[in-house]
Amino acid sequence: MNPEASLASPEASAPRRAESTRWFAGVLAHGAGTMFFVALAFAAGWYRMRGLWVLPAVAPSVLPPCVAGAFLLGVGPLLLRASRVDASTPRRALPWLGGALVSGAGFLATQAAWLHVMFWYRNLRVPEGGAFASAFYGLSALQVVHVGLVLLAVLGAAVSTWRGGDARDAARRALAGWLFTVATFGLLFLAVYLP
């Protein structure tokens, strides 16, 4: 047994227990959201296999989701760097957190522009667009909400760091949330965006 660990007071280990609890709660929340998203994506896939799917006149291009995916993939490495800065210089995490916010905002802007084009210029409406339109807007909206919540956590970590706090644990939690986001976007791409 580690003598130092055995001598650690309950007060000293309390912050780590609290962080472990926050981490576990975050994983449960993201896992529940992912399961809900996966269920809806499988339902969309069922409609696709039944031939009740893409209307040829409004079939989307794969370019916008690919651009959005590039922004999405850029956030993870930035959060990883932010979570690994030296504890003695926490403000060094600020550029990484700022980059993650910019890249995440780029993802949201790309998605918003694409949904705008599909609704106003290609007349993809609900319920006229059938199962495809419902899956397209519904799953895209869920994805945007998930991304928005994770970006709020990143913004909170950046503000904490700017005030001199240590936001490495917050960056690790945001990174876990972002990995869930990347996984659900991959599923969204396969089930809905892929022509």
CA gap 114, 144 in Å, rounded: 12
**pLDDT, one tens digit for every residue, the chain (195 residues):** 455 555 556 666 777 787 788 778 877 877 777 787 788 777 777 777 777 666 656 666 778 888 888 898 889 999 999 888 887 888 888 999 999 999 999 999 998 988 888 888 888 888 887 778 888 888 888 888 888 988 999 999 899 888 888 888 888 888 888 888 888 888 888 888 777
Per the structure block, which two tokens stand in for 114?
A: 């694409």
CA gap 162, 164 in Å, rounded: 5
Q: Note the pLDDT of residue 40.
A: 78
Q: Note the pLDDT of residue 3.
A: 52
Q: Note the pLDDT of residue 77.
A: 92
Residue 39 burial (CB count, 10 A)? 10
Q: Note the pLDDT of residue 163.
A: 86
Q: Note the pLDDT of residue 98.
A: 93
